[in-house]
Amino acid sequence: MAATADTGRAGKVSALSLAGLARPFYQKLVSFALLNLAISGAILGQAIALSLVHTRVFLDGAALPDVRPVLIAFALSSLLRGLLVWQAELAALRFAVQIKKDLRSRLLAHLALLGPVYAQTQRSGELVNTLSEGVDALESYFSQFLPQLIRAALIPLGILLVVFTGDIYSGVVLLLTAPLIPLFMILIGNLAEGITQQQWRTLSRLSAFFLDVLQGLTTLKIFNRSRDQVKVLRSISRQYRETTMGVLRVAFLSALVLEMLATISTALVAVQIGVRLLSGSFDLQTAFFILFLAPEFYQPLRSLGSSFHTGTAGRAAAQRIFEILETSPMVRQAAGDLSRKPSTCRTEVNQAPEEGSPRMQPESGVQIHFDCVSFQYKTAQTQALKEVSFSLYPGQISALIGPSGSGKTTITMLLLRFLSPDTGRILVGNNPLETIDPETWRREVAWVSQTPYFFRGSVADNIRLGVPDASEEQVREAATAARALEFIEKLPNGFDTPIGEQGARLSGGQGQRIALARAFLKDAPFVILDEPTANLDPRVEEELQPVFYDLAQQRTVLLISHRLHTILPADLLLVLQDGRLVEHGSAANLRKSGGLYAGMLAESRRTL
């Protein structure tokens, strides 16, 4: 399986691809099309009424009372047309809003499915811009361009059929001149598409850079580089302004050309009708009827040209959206076709997988077995893990150690089901992890990361992250177990104190203890502690040593650390080097063996 996301759609996004997003709402498209057919009927009613009025007044000398019924019919047709246009516009807006809601939900769900491994390879500002500005650009596409495209296909077609029945020569003129507007629209659109793509890329770059500057503002101020970043930001803003003006220039040029074409085409219809009227070979009422319809025939095409740049902007934004939606998840969900372990792999894990999905039992902990697991990131030259096998048991603290780049983080991502092994198996009890639904499995895992994330809210809200309905007493007990109660009670509002974005009002040690409180409150059978004391001073770290023993009671605990004195409570040491498990056993036995752990321990003592 590919370890990283495959790029979805590299080429241009077609209108057909975008129309696929509207497939779940095809009934609304059908109703919109019927409304436009009804608008065509109202236009024909207006034209018939006006042609009758002009004929009776100018040829028959009719007075106002004689044409009053026809004028009433014209007024009713106009009123009906206005109501139908209003309903069509309202339907288009509702249709676009539904697509936007559905698309944004799909994007968020798919990003959640892709997981943090994918998100870490992207720029946060660019993703936010895609979810906000990108989806809004598609809303304009579906509320303006696509409805206008349907209108341009239906209304002129209906008028053309009626004109052909009344006068074949006028119908031929309309038929020959009508394609000129879409032709020039496409030619100008091709010119505008490259500029629009550049505009969208510049906006995404501007959004990503601006977020980077905001998040790193403290660092920039310390190193006196904030003014330099302001210059870069000003340069990107200028590029965005220039590309936006370029798009507007092309849009205005397009509108001018299409207006000229529509005007000239209408004049051609009028000229050929006028010549035939002068020769006496054409009926005046039919002439009036066609002359009234000619501008209405070209109007939807002109409007389509005016909104063409909206469609171009929508396609530019959709390219990135489709890339995200078509990126394959990095987690396999296997049914029975599991990877076979290589014949050269030696493992101590002999359990055969059972059929079906296991029932999790939090009160008894879980047994986890790595069975010849190998994994390689797609962008890497070497494997991150090479035929790794080990077992984790309830009531036992297992410590995963090794130099940087040895594969510890990859093992964590595999255990959290953000990645799946290329070969080998991860077993929970006797059941392959791939047969367990990721959401079901993650409910049974508590993870304390090296840099825990804190959301804007109170201390209690952040402790309750895994158990939203936990009572105040349960939150207090979890904080007590994590040795966090003392500093929380000293805060201005205790557990109700806001901690700011990303825990800005907390020290590193305070944040780490709140993260540990989350693990106690969740009470999951499997706990992963990734550098849990990285931000704590030695005294507090020593105070937290008993916490790890408490967590190990009827739980499976995996402790990951670079600091060897942090792993003192561990019952089993797993030593990684270059993606391989090179040593495993108790600390006492590994010290005597003189291997990698003994060397790391000696180096650690020299640096103290």
What confidence tens digit (pLDDT) does each residue in 143-196 have? 777 788 888 888 888 888 888 888 888 888 888 888 877 777 777 766 666 777
Same structural domain for residues 242 and 270? yes
The pLDDT of residue 80: 92
Residue 342 maps to a domain? no
Instruction: Please tell me whether residues 517 and 530 are part of one structural domain.
Output: no
Residue numbers of the chain with a pLDDT score lower than 70: 1-20, 22-24, 189-193, 305-306, 308-311, 330-365, 534-537, 540, 565-566, 568-569, 604-608
Tell me if 29 sits within 8 A of 22, measured CB to CB.
yes
Mark out the alpha helices in 307-443 (DSSP H runs).
308-325, 408-415, 438-442
Order of strands across the sheet that contains 445-448: 445-448, 526-530, 556-560, 396-401, 572-577, 580-585
Residue 547 and residue 518 in one domain: no
Cβ atoms within 10 A of the Cβ of 24, count? Answer: 11
Q: Please name the residues in contact with 312: beta carbons below 8 A apart, sequence gap of 6 or more.
A: 189, 192, 193, 196
Distance CA 384, CA 391 (A): 19
Supply the pLDDT for residue 591. Answer: 81
Closest C-alpha to 506, from 544, 458, 539? 458
Q: Are residues 257 and 315 in the same domain?
A: yes
| Structural domain includes residue 331 | no
Domain annotation covers residue 344: no
What CATH code is carried by the domain that includes residue 29? 1.20.1560.10
Report the 3 state secondary structure along 300-344: HHHHHHHCHHHHHHHHHHHHHHHHHHCCCCCCCCCCCCCCCCCCC
Q: Of 523, 551, 583, which one is at a domain's C-terminal end?
A: 523
Same domain? 123 vs 192: yes
- What's the predicted TM-score (pTM) here? 0.66
The C-alpha atoms of residue 580 and residue 345 are separated, in whole angstroms, by: 12
Domain encompassing residue 463: 455-523
Residues 432 and 543 in one domain: yes
167 and 259 assigned to the same domain? yes
**Alpha-carbon dihedral of residues 66, 70, 72, 76, nearest 10 degrees?**
180
pLDDT at 79: 93
The answer on 162 and 120 residing in a single domain is yes
Specify if 564 maps to a domain: yes
Residues 6+ apart with CB under 8 A from 496: 458, 459, 460
Q: Quote the pLDDT of residue 540.
A: 67
The continuous run of DSSP H or E covering 530 comes out as: strand 526-530
Is there a single domain that holds both residue 309 and residue 387?
no
Q: Which of 306, 123, 99 is nearest to 203 (CA)?
A: 123
Using the structure block, give the residue that is written with the tokens 């394609």: 179
Q: Say if CB 335 and CB 435 are below 8 A apart.
A: yes
pLDDT attached to residue 369: 92
Q: What is the pLDDT of residue 333?
A: 58
- Kindly state whether residue 211 falls inside one of the protein's structural domains: yes
Contacts of 298 (CB under 8 A, 6+ apart): 156, 178, 181, 262, 265, 266
545 and 510 together in one domain: no
Q: Of 584, 527, 575, which is closest to residue 552 (Cα–Cα)?
A: 527
CB 600 within 8 A of CB 591: no
Question: Among residues 523, 549, 583, which one ends one of the domains?
Answer: 523
Q: pLDDT per residue over 487-524, tens digit each?
A: 888 888 888 888 877 777 787 778 888 888 888 888 88
Q: Domain for residue 352, yes or no?
A: no
Single residue among 523, 538, 566 that ends a domain in this structure: 523
Count of domains in the chain?
3
Same domain, 37 and 88: yes
Using CA atoms in the order 515, 520, 521, 522, what is the torsion angle rounded to 10 degrees? 90
Check residue 347 and give its pLDDT.
52
Output the pLDDT for position 8: 38
Instruction: Say whether both 109 and 253 belong to one domain.
Output: yes
- CATH number for the domain spanning 584: value is 3.40.50.300
Q: Is residue 545 part of a domain?
A: yes
Domain membership of residue 330 (yes or no) is no
